[in-house]
Amino acid sequence: MKSVKRRTIVAITSLVVLALVAAACGGSSSSGSNANGSGAAKGGTIREELQEFGWTSGFDPTGEYLGTAWALYDQMLMRGLMTYNHRDAAAGGDTPVPDIATGPPTVSEDGMTYEFELKTGVMFGPPVDREVTSKDIAYSFQRINTASLSALYGNYYCGVITGMTCDAEKVDTAIEGIDTPDATHITFHLDAPVGDFLYRLTMPATKAIPEEVAKCFTKAGDYGPYLISSSAYMFMGSEDLDISSCDTMKPISGYDVQKGMTLVRNPNYDPASDSTEIREANIDGLQQAINTNYDDIFQRLLDGEIDVAAGTPPKGVLLKFETDPTYAGWLHADPGDRTWYATMNLFAAPFDDVHVRKAVNLAFNKEGVRKAYGGEKRGQIATSVEPPAVLSLSESINPYSANTGAGNLDAAMEEMKQSRYDLDKNGVCDDGGACDDILFLGRNVDPWPEMDQVALASLQPILPGLTLKEVDTSTGYTTLQQMKKLVPISLVPGWGKDYGSPYGFDYYIFHSDGIYSCTGASNYSLVGLTKDFADECGIGAEYDAYVQNNGEVPSVDAKMEECVGKPASQIDQCFAELDTYVMETAVPWVPWIWANNWTSVNPTVNQYVFDQFAGTMSYINSAVDNGLAPENVA
Amino acid sequence: MSQLQSAEPEVQTLAPLDGDIRRVEGRTPWQLFWIRFKRDHVAMGAGVVVCLLVFVAVVAPLFVTLFVHRGPNALDQNLTSDIGIPILGPSKTAWFGVDGIGRDVFVRTMYGARTSLMVSFIGTGLSLVIGIVLGLLSGFRGGKIDTFISRTIDIVLSLPLLLMAIGLSVACGASIAGCSGVWIMPVLLGIVALSALGLGLQSTRRVPAMLVAAISLVLAVVLLGSGTGPRIKTGVPMVIFIIALFGWPYVARIVRGQTLSLREREFVEAARATGFGPWYIMLREIFPNMLASIIVVTTLLIPQNILFEAALSYLSVGIPPDTPSWGGMINDATEGSLYFVAWWMLVFPAGFLVITTLSFNLLGDGLRDALDPRAGR
C-alpha cells in the first residue's frame, strides 16, 4: 500500500549488539559435546507425522511464511548472518545471535550502516559443495527484492535498506545498499536507522542461497524442492541433484510435498563453523511424513511407531496424557508467541462505536473459550495484544481488568449503555438496523465450533443480534482479508510474531501497511485505514460514517515508526504505550489467549528442547534414542 | 334335496345374520389399501415410530419448558473437565449426558428431530412439487419438451450432489446475507414459461397459455438483467434449497414414466374425446392414478433427505451449530475422537438417526406393498 517510513534516531542498537558479543564470543565447540550439559546421545532419527505441510510458498525460503518451515530452515537447513539458539525463551531463544557472522556487526554511529564479517568454513551441501560467501547473502536479498518471488515480509527490508523496493523485475539486479567488498564481508546501508535490524536478519529469506541453483527458479515457491543446504542437514538425495543446467534439475528425492521429507546430515557441515549452543545436531535424521488421518498419527505415537506429533491430541489421547501416569511428560506445552483473538471491524456497525468494542472486551468469556479449546495448558489468558515473550510488559496492560476471565456482564452492560446503539440504555444493543443479524464468523474445524458457541453465549446478552456462521479456516481468513466484506466480528484469527521484537508482532496486524490491498489485509480491523484507500475498496461510505460519528480513525502508524526507531533499550516501553493505545482507544481486538504450542513426544525423545523463535520443537537441539537410520519417506 | 324336487321352487330369503341384512359392499382403493396395510405389522410399527418422532419434534420446546428447563444451547461448563471433556454421562440430571461444553444431549436430540424432520419434509415437498409438474408435463406433452426435461433430469442427476452442496454452502456461508441467487427466479420463471408453452401447444386455448409463457419469459429476462433476486442463505434454508434442487429429478422421472403409461389408457382417451383440455386431464385423470407411486417415493425420499441433511451437518456445511441437528451432534462427538470418552454424544443422535431412517424406509416398503400389491418385493 505504501512504503514504510523510518524516523531518524540517534541512539541505536548498541545494547543489542553488546548483548550479542557474549553469544558470539562463546565460539564454536566440537560437535561431540552438548553446551547445555545434557549429555544427550548422538544418533537416531526423529520420526514425525503431520496431516499436511501447508506451506504458503512451496517451501521457498524467500516467500515462505509458515512457522514450521522457518523451524526447518533456521534449525536444520540454512544459515544466515544471524540466527537464534533454538531454545526456549528462558534460555534466550528470542534473542538473535551471530550465525555465519563472526560476531556482532560494526554499526555506524548514526545507525545507518551495518558491517558484518563472515566465518570461513561454512559450506553449501552437495551438489554445490562450495564455501558460503557474502555474495550468497546478498543474493538472498536480491531475491527478496524481486517482485515475482513474492517475499511476504519484504517490508522489513524494502524501504529500509537503501535501494530495496521489492519490485525489481530481475533477480540479478544489484542492490545499492548492500556491499560485498570480498567473500567474507558484507555491509548494509539503511535509509533510516532501525532498532531491530538484527532481528530482521534472522529471517529465513535472508539466509544464504546459492545463485547457481536458485537462478533457475524465478517464480514464487519454485525453489523449495531444490533447496540447497548450508547448515547441518540437507534433503536426503541432495547429492543426486544434477545442477549442470537448469533443464537437468529434478526435485530432490528426499522431499515430496504430498508424501513428506527426510533430512539427513550434510556431509559438508563443519561443526567447527558453528556452535553447539545453537545447533547440537544430535540426530542422524528427521523424517516428516504426511498422514492425513489425524487420529492415526496419535495412535502411532502411542504405539511407538513415531516419535513426535505436533498439535492438539484427540480428546481421548489428551485424557490419557492428563490422567494416566504412564503418559506423564508426553505432552509439552510451550509459549508459542501467538495471540488468539476476536477481531472487530472498526467500520462495521455496531462495532464502529468504541463502546460496543469495549463492552465486548468486558463480556467475552475467555476462560470458557479456553476450556473448550483444551484448558489451562492451552495458554495464558491474554489481557493485551502481544504475548509476554515478545513484549514482557504485556501482562501489565490490562484495561479490562473488570473481566477477570469469565466475562463481566454487568460491566459490559454499563459500557454498552454509553453506546449510541443502545437506544433505551438498558445495556443491550437494540438499534434494529445495526444490531440485528450481526455476522459472527467462526471456524467449523474442531475444536472451534464449541469455542464459537461459548464466545457467542457470553456476548449475546449485550449483542442478541449476533448470528454465528462457521467456515473452514482458509475461507475464514480469506473472508476477513476482503475489506468490502466488512466482517463485523470474528473468532477465526490468531497472530504470531515474525520475530521476537514487538515490531515483528504488531507491524502487519495494526500498521496501515497491513492493509495491502482491497482483498489482502492482515490488519482485519482496518486500524489506520485512510479515506483514499476506503474509497478505492468500496467502503468510502462506511469510512465517512465512522468519521462523522467518531472523529478521526485511530492509527498507530506514527507511533510504530517512532517505536521502531528507538534504541533497543527503549523499544519495549514504547511498544507498551502503543499497545495500551490499541487496547484502550482503537480497541480492534478481544485478545483471549496467549497460546501455547503443543507437542506430543514419545519417551524415545530423551531430550526435548523447544525453539522459541520458530514456535516448534527444536529438532536440532533435541535428541532421540531409537537407534534408527533415516529412511526416505518422500 | 326335498326343496329341489318341488314343482315350484320357493324363493327363500336368507335368514338375517344377527338380525341385520348383510350386503356385499364395494370397497374403494383406499379401503383396500388400509386393509392390506393393517396386516403389515412391521410397517404399522414403523408408522407409529414416525408418528412418535413427529410428536417429539412438535412438543420439544414445550417439554423442555415444562420438565428440563434447559434450552438446546444452554451451556454449563461446570459439567466438563478442565480440558473440555464432558464428565456427566446419562443420569438423572441429564438423561442422555452432556456434550463438550455442557449442553444437554437429550434436549439437543429432541430438537434435532425437529430440524431433521422439518428440513426433510419441506425439502421433499418442494422436490415433489417441481418433480410432479415437470414429470407430468414431460410425459404428457412428449416431443421436444420431453426431450428437454429428460435431458435436464439426466444432467442434474449426474451432478456430484455432495460436492455441489459443500461448494454452495462454502460460497454462501461467510456472510449474513448469503450469496446472490439472481438466477433462481429467472430459472423458475423459465420453467413456468416452458410449462405454459408445452401446454399451450397442445391445448385449443393457446392464447392464454402463450401469454403466460411470454410474460414469464419477459420477467425472467428483466430480473436477470436487473441482477435482483432472492439471496441463498446458509443454514436451514440452504439445506432445504439443496434438497429441492437436487431431489426433484427422482420424482420427475417416476412421474414421467407413469404419465407415459397412463396417457394411453382408455379413461384418458375418453376424457380427451369428451373434450377436456390437457390441464384437466393431467390433474383430474392422470395425477390421481399415480398418487400411490408418489406416496411411496415420498416415504423413501424423506429418509434419504434426513441422511443428506445429517451428512451436510456432519461436514459442518449444513445446519449452523447453534441449531441442533443429529449430523452436527455426531460431528461434535467425533471431534478429537471424543466419543471414546463420551460415548453418549455419539450413540443417542446416531441411534435416533438410524431409527428414523429405518422407520421411514420400512413405512415406505409397507405403503408400496399395500398400494400396489402386484409389485411384490
Report DSSP state, residue A190.
B
Pair A187, A115: CB distance under 8 Å: yes
For chain B, the average pLDDT equals: 84
3-class DSSP state for residue A440? strand
Q: Is ipTM beyond 0.90? A: no
Nearest to A225 by CA among A212, A210, A238, A215: A238
CA A101 to chain centre: 24
Q: Does A369 touch chain B (CB under 8 A)?
A: no
Segment 404-443 of chain A within 8 Å of chain B by CB: 437-439, 441
For position B191, what pLDDT does the model report? 73
pLDDT tens string A408-436: 999 999 999 999 999 999 999 999 889 99
Taking an 8 Å cut-off on Cβ atoms, the answer to whether B100 and A439 are in contact is no
Residues A44-61, mean pLDDT to the nearest whole number: 94
Residues A319-334, mean pLDDT to the nearest whole number: 92
Residues B90-113, mean pLDDT to the nearest whole number: 93
Rounded CA-CA distance A460/A276 in Å is 54
Q: Which residues contact B131 (CB under 8 A, 6 or more apart)?
A: B247, B248, B249, B250, B251, B252, B253, B254, B255
Residue with cell 492425513: A292
For position A104, what pLDDT does the model report? 95
Other beta carbons within 10 Å of A99: 28
Asked if residue A253 has pLDDT above 70, the reply is yes
Asked if residue A61 has pLDDT above 80, the reply is yes
Asked if residue A119 has pLDDT above 80, the reply is yes
Nearest to B342 by CA among B85, B19, B20: B85
Asked if residue A296 has pLDDT above 80, the reply is yes
For position B143, what pLDDT does the model report? 85
Q: What are phi and psi of B315, to 5 degrees?
A: -85, 5
Residues B296-323, mean pLDDT to the nearest whole number: 86
Chain A residues with beta carbon closer than 8 angstroms to that of B73: 453, 457
pLDDT tens string A148-162: 997 889 989 999 999
Asked if residue B199 has pLDDT above 80, the reply is no
For position A492, what pLDDT does the model report? 94
Taking an 8 Å cut-off on Cβ atoms, the answer to whether A375 and B317 are in contact is no
pLDDT tens string A482-523: 999 999 999 999 999 998 889 999 999 999 999 989 998 899
Q: Which residues contact A470 (CB under 8 A, 6 or more apart)?
A: A441, A442, A443, A444, A448, A449, A452, B173, B316, B320, B321
Taking an 8 Å cut-off on Cβ atoms, the answer to whether B170 and A444 are in contact is no
- The pLDDT confidence band at residue A39, using thresholds 50, 70 and 90, is low
The cell numbers describing A249, all together, are 534439475
Residues B164-190, mean pLDDT to the nearest whole number: 74
For position A4, what pLDDT does the model report? 34
Q: Percentage helix, strand, coil, to 5, in chain B? A: 70, 5, 25
Nearest to B88 by CA among B103, B71, B66: B103
For position A37, what pLDDT does the model report? 42
Q: Which residues contact B2 (CB under 8 A, 6 or more apart)?
A: none
Q: Does A327 touch chain B (CB under 8 A)?
A: no
Provide the β-strand partners of residue A490: A343, A441
Residues A215-241, mean pLDDT to the nearest whole number: 96
Q: Measure B84 CA to nearest chain A CA, in Å.
A: 5
Asked if residue B1 has pLDDT above 70, the reply is no
For position B21, what pLDDT does the model report? 58
Q: Measure B137 CA to nearest chain A CA, in Å.
A: 40
Other beta carbons within 10 Å of B267: 12
- Whether omega for the bond prior to residue A350 falls within 30 degrees of 0, making it cis, is yes
Size of chain B in residues: 377
Q: Does A56 touch chain B (CB under 8 A)?
A: no
Strands (E) across A30-175 are located at: 45-50, 82-83, 97-98, 106-107, 113-117
For position B5, what pLDDT does the model report? 46
Nearest to A349 by CA among A499, A510, A463: A463
For position B374, what pLDDT does the model report? 64
- The pLDDT confidence band at residue A165, using thresholds 50, 70 and 90, is very high
Nearest by CB to A315, which of B176, B234, B338?
A: B338
Chain B residues with beta carbon closer than 8 angstroms to that of A457: 73, 75
The cell numbers describing A57, all together, are 510458498
pLDDT tens string A332-369: 999 989 999 999 999 999 999 999 999 999 999 999 99
For position B19, what pLDDT does the model report? 53
Rounded CA-CA distance A454/A611 in Å is 32
Asked if residue A80 has pLDDT above 80, the reply is yes
Q: Does A185 touch chain B (CB under 8 A)?
A: no
Rounded CA-CA distance A370/B84 in Å is 9
Q: Measure B187 CA to nearest chain A CA, in Å.
A: 28
Taking an 8 Å cut-off on Cβ atoms, the answer to whether B83 and A452 are in contact is no
Residue type, B252: A
Mutate to test the interface with A, among B330, B337, B340 (most CBs of A within 10 A): B337
Q: Which residues contact B23 (CB under 8 A, 6 or more apart)?
A: none
Pair A78, A230: CB distance under 8 Å: yes
Q: Measure A439 CA to nearest chain B CA, in Å.
A: 6
For chain A, the average pLDDT equals: 91
Other beta carbons within 10 Å of B237: 16
pLDDT tens string B10-44: 555 555 555 555 666 778 878 888 888 899 999 99
| Residue pairs spanning A and B at CB distance below 8 A | 119
Nearest to A51 by CA among A291, A303, A358: A291
For position A399, what pLDDT does the model report? 96
For position A316, what pLDDT does the model report? 83
pLDDT tens string A571-629: 899 999 999 999 999 999 999 999 999 999 999 999 999 999 999 999 999 999 999 99
Nearest by CB to A437, which of B100, B176, B332?
A: B176
Residues A399-404, mean pLDDT to the nearest whole number: 96
For position A25, what pLDDT does the model report? 39
Taking an 8 Å cut-off on Cβ atoms, the answer to whether A454 and B75 are in contact is yes
For position B7, what pLDDT does the model report? 47
Pair A364, A456: CB distance under 8 Å: no
Spell out which chain B residues touch chain A, with contact meaning CB-CB distance below 8 angstroms. Answer: 73, 75, 77, 80-85, 99-101, 170, 173-176, 234, 316-317, 320-322, 331-332, 335-338, 340-341
Q: Which residues contact A494 (CB under 8 A, 6 or more apart)?
A: A338, A339, A340, A341, A595
Rounded CA-CA distance B147/B150 in Å is 5
Size of chain A in residues: 634
pLDDT tens string B209-238: 788 888 888 888 887 777 666 666 777 888
Asked if residue B6 has pLDDT above 80, the reply is no
The DSSP annotation for A567-586 comes to -HHHHHHHHHHHHHHIIIII
The cell numbers describing B137, all together, are 408435463
pTM of the model: 0.79
The cell numbers describing A14, all together, are 548498541
